[in-house]
Amino acid sequence: MNLVNLAHHLRITGGALRNWFIAQAEDSLAVGLMWTIGLWLIHVPWPLFWAIVAAALQFVPHFGPVLGTIGPVLAAALRWGDWEHPLYVLICYATIVVIDSLLLQPYLMKRTARVPIWASILVPLVLGILWPFWGILVAPPLLAVVYAYKAKHQSERGL
């Protein structure tokens, strides 16, 4: 493989990973906004702080959102000392996860990284089964790279 060919592949891969990162950043921002609104509505202390933490943890696929829930649940439990308010936080979390994973992430991956919606839902599930833990983590950026090469190949063929 010559240097020109290597530079070409690095450019395609780097562009795909940049697009994936942009989609992930937009997703994190939207999740942070949903958390801010949800926590503010249920009067959890420091809603903006917890939303920023959740948005930052959104970059860690599948585990980050769960970790981002611990703080608001504990804050609600300590503030009111009942089980209802932490339950409201968990309901807020479930709502955000459904909206994010079934609508927002697939849409952003399609718009920014040109990954079809079906692939962004199905491939992480399949890779998670075939390669537990790591498959889920690498699926989104890997999809962005694969579809970048697919688009490049189709443009070279004139399709």
CA dist 84 and 104 (Å) reads 28
CA dist 140 and 46 (Å) reads 31
Q: Domain of residue 14: give its range.
A: 3-153
Q: Report helix, strand or coil for 73.
A: helix
101 is a domain residue: yes
In total, how many domains does the chain have?
A: 1
CA dist 133 and 62 (Å) reads 9
159 is a domain residue: no
CA dist 55 and 66 (Å) reads 12
149 is a domain residue: yes
**Dihedral angle computed from the Cα positions of residues 125, 129, 132 and 138, in that order, rounded to the nearest 10 degrees:** -40
Q: Which two tokens stand for residue 84?
A: 């209802």
Q: Are 113 and 89 in contact (CB under 8 A)?
A: no
65 is a domain residue: yes
DSSP state of 32: H
The pLDDT profile of the chain, 159 residues, written as one tens digit per residue, is: 688 888 989 999 999 999 999 999 999 999 999 999 999 999 999 999 999 999 999 988 778 899 999 999 999 999 999 999 999 999 999 999 999 988 998 888 888 888 888 898 889 889 999 998 889 889 989 999 999 999 888 888 875
Q: Are 112 and 43 in contact (CB under 8 A)?
A: no
Total-model pTM: 0.85
